[in-house]
């Protein structure tokens, strides 16, 4: 596997460049962070290429309207290109942007957001928020690592999916994972190889909180007494909690320590601790989450007179900090277990002016109780599919302020168009957040105000 991104190297592909591979100059960056070049008028999306570069590439798929390809040689590098330090770069599908300077990654993501808002949503923010940044590496406190026993590898392979392939990349280190967990990867291989059933362990979930980190070992057959002893000894020796998962997520139970001690993460500035179970959704990047929560509260400007609705509230990550400032807050979420934990988190933090409701926000709308909460401020934090169903069903009086936290610019753009063109909001500000440095994920936030 090559790691140098310079002329003559082959950073992205397993076979060497040949004179038959075409050469092109990249002009722009696509919304999913590939370099775009034009050959005979047809666009080719080149994985691993940066704007301004001249590259030799290999076609992956040739289609009617555009082609996809991967870089095989960088002939003229961009000044924004850096040599990735991860030994698995090029093979592992986890981080596809390590070849770009982190600050330029973020500028490009803002550019992508701006283009998507204009192109798909026909809207333009009145101002840009300063990007929210955090550490470029070692930020990932939650991950799902695949495990496979591979004879040719001489044991188990542990890691993320390989780039453009269904195999796993075998990780001895992972620069974006929490360093303490990354450092355990070699020992984790030995541990799983030493179990009675390494071929029946499909995945390990990692979750880290303020008080501890944890591994959830999924196993498809019962573990032996010796297996359990080994796993518990590993947890104790490395100071990492070990949970076992014999079935569905509700079967997860602690192995070491055997007495259940809740994981939690702290949101400084709001005196809020959020307890969670190791397979729960939590925002991946602690530093960015803290800044994001603070930004949401700043933009919504909650006061004691306000009623705030937090849709897609999860464990109460925004709900509880908002409740520290607002008169009352209602959080809505479709996962029952998360709602139960959100309620428990309110009690734990002695926050009384908050309620949580369980609802499928894509199904229940006009008559749902949450829609009659008379909120004058609204927070939306939907999955990639966005929130158009909810926005279309909002009842009068509409909230004066809406903050929309988005993990997919295309649906934010679509929903912005409806908010602005149909409901009469102004898109007063938008900005990006560096939640997933080194990857092409674009996380953003937008503020809508109704005059």
Active site residues: 407
Encoded one letter per residue, x for contact with ligand SAM by CB under 6 A and - for no contact, window 199-238 reads ----------------------------------------
Q: Using the 8-state DSSP alphabet, how is residue 199 labeled?
A: G
Minimum distance of ligand SAM from residue 416's CB (angstroms): 17
For the segment 319-378, give every residue that binds ligand SAM (CB under 6 A).
Answer: 333-335, 338, 360-362
Q: Are 121 and 417 in contact (CB under 8 A)?
A: yes
Judged by beta carbon, residue 223 or residue 339, the one nearer ligand SAM is 339
Judged by beta carbon, residue 50 or residue 379, the one nearer ligand SAM is 379
Judged by beta carbon, residue 57 or residue 370, the one nearer ligand SAM is 370
Count of residues engaged in binding ligand SAM, rule: CB under 6 A = 18
Beta carbons within 8 Å of 384's beta carbon, 6+ residues apart: 407, 408, 411
Minimum distance of ligand SAM from residue 335's CB (angstroms): 4
Helices and strands (H, E) in the chain, number of each type: 9, 22
The reply to whether 389 sits near ligand SAM by the rule CB under 6 A is no
> Which residue of 13, 105, 317, 438 would you call a contact of ligand SAM, by CB under 6 A?
317
With 0-12 / 13-18 / 19 or more C-beta atoms within 10 angstroms meaning exposed / middle / buried, residue 212 is middle
Q: Which residue has the tokens 């880290």?
A: 208
Beta carbons within 8 Å of 174's beta carbon, 6+ residues apart: 86, 88, 92, 94, 140, 143, 159, 160, 181, 182, 185
> Which residue of 257, 383, 397, 424 would you call a contact of ligand SAM, by CB under 6 A?
383
Judged by beta carbon, residue 142 or residue 219, the one nearer ligand SAM is 142
Number of residue whose CB is nearest ligand SAM: 314
Judged by beta carbon, residue 178 or residue 443, the one nearer ligand SAM is 443
Q: Are 330 and 354 in contact (CB under 8 A)?
A: yes
Q: Take residue 68 and report the two structure tokens written for it.
A: 């996809």
> Which residue of 243, 312, 373, 425 would you call a contact of ligand SAM, by CB under 6 A?
312
With 0-12 / 13-18 / 19 or more C-beta atoms within 10 angstroms meaning exposed / middle / buried, residue 19 is exposed
The reply to whether 265 sits near ligand SAM by the rule CB under 6 A is no
The reply to whether 408 sits near ligand SAM by the rule CB under 6 A is no
Task: Point out which span in 14-22, 84-92, 265-273, 310-318 binds ligand SAM (CB under 6 A).
Answer: 310-318
Judged by beta carbon, residue 206 or residue 379, the one nearer ligand SAM is 379
What is the residue-wise DSSP string for 77-138? Answer: --TTB-----TTTTTBSS-S-TTB-HHHHHHHHHHHHHHHHHHHH----SEEPPPB---SSS
Beta sheet of 203-208, edge-to-edge order: 155-159, 142-150, 203-208, 213-218, 241-245, 253-256
> Which residue of 9, 245, 283, 290 would you call a contact of ligand SAM, by CB under 6 A?
283
The reply to whether 273 sits near ligand SAM by the rule CB under 6 A is no
Is the preceding peptide bond at 397 cis, omega within 30 degrees of 0? yes
CA-to-CA distance for 168 and 224, rounded, in angstroms? 27
Minimum distance of ligand SAM from residue 22's CB (angstroms): 40
> Which residue of 66, 167, 281, 418 would you call a contact of ligand SAM, by CB under 6 A?
281
Give the footprint of ligand SAM on this chain (CB under 6 A).
Answer: 281, 283, 312-315, 317-318, 333-335, 338, 360-362, 381, 383, 407
């Amino acid at each position: 596997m090559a790691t140098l991104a310079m002329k003559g190297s082959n950073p992205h592909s397993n076979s060497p460049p040949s004179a038959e591979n075409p050469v092109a100059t990249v002009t722009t960056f696509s919304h999913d962070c590939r370099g775009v070049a034009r050959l005979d008028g047809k666009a080719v999306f080149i994985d691993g290429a940066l704007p301004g570069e001249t590259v030799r590439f290999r076609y992956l798929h040739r289609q009617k309207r555009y082609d996809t390809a991967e870089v095989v040689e960088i002939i003229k590098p961009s000044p924004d290109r850096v040599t990735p330090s991860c030994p698995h770069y090029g093979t592992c599908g986890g981080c596809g942007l390590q070849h770009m300077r982190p600050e330029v990654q973020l500028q490009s993501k803002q550019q992508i957001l701006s283009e998507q808002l204009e192109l798909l949503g026909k809207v333009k923010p009145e101002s840009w928020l300063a990007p929210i940044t955090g550490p470029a590496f070692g930020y990932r406190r939650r991950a799902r690592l695949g495990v496979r026993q591979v004879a040719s590898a001489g044991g188990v392979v542990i890691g993320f999916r390989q780039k453009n392939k269904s195999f796993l990349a075998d990780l001895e280190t992972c620069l974006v994972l929490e360093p303490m967990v990354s450092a355990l990867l070699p020992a984790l291989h030995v541990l799983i190889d030493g179990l009675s059933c390494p071929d029946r362990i499909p995945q390990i979930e990692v979750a880290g909180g303020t008080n501890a980190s944890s591994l959830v070992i999924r196993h498809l057959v019962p573990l032996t007494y010796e297996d359990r002893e080994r796993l518990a000894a590993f947890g104790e020796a490395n100071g990492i909690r070990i949970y076992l998962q014999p079935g569905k997520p509700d079967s997860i139970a602690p192995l070491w320590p055997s007495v259940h001690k809740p994981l939690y993460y702290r949101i400084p500035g709001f005196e809020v601790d959020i307890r969670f179970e190791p397979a729960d959704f939590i925002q991946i990047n602690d530093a960015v989450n803290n800044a994001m929560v603070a930004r949401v509260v700043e933009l919504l400007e909650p006061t004691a007179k306000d009623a705030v609705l937090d849709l897609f509230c999860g464990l109460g990550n925004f709900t509880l900090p908002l409740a520290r400032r607002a008169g009352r807050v209602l959080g809505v979420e479709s996962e029952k277990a998360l709602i139960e934990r959100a309620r428990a988190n309110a009690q734990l933090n002695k926050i009384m002016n908050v309620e949580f409701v369980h609802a499928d926000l894509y199904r229940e709308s006009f008559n749902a109780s949450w829609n009659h909460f008379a909120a004058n401020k609204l927070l939306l934090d939907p999955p990639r599919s966005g929130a158009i169903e909810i926005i279309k069903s909002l009842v009068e009086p509409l909230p004066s302020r809406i903050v929309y936290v988005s993990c997919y610019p295309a649906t934010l753009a679509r929903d912005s168009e409806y908010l602005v063109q149909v409901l009469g909001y102004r898109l007063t500000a938008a900005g990006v957040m560096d939640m997933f440095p080194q990857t092409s994920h674009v996380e953003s936030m937008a503020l809508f105000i109704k005059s």
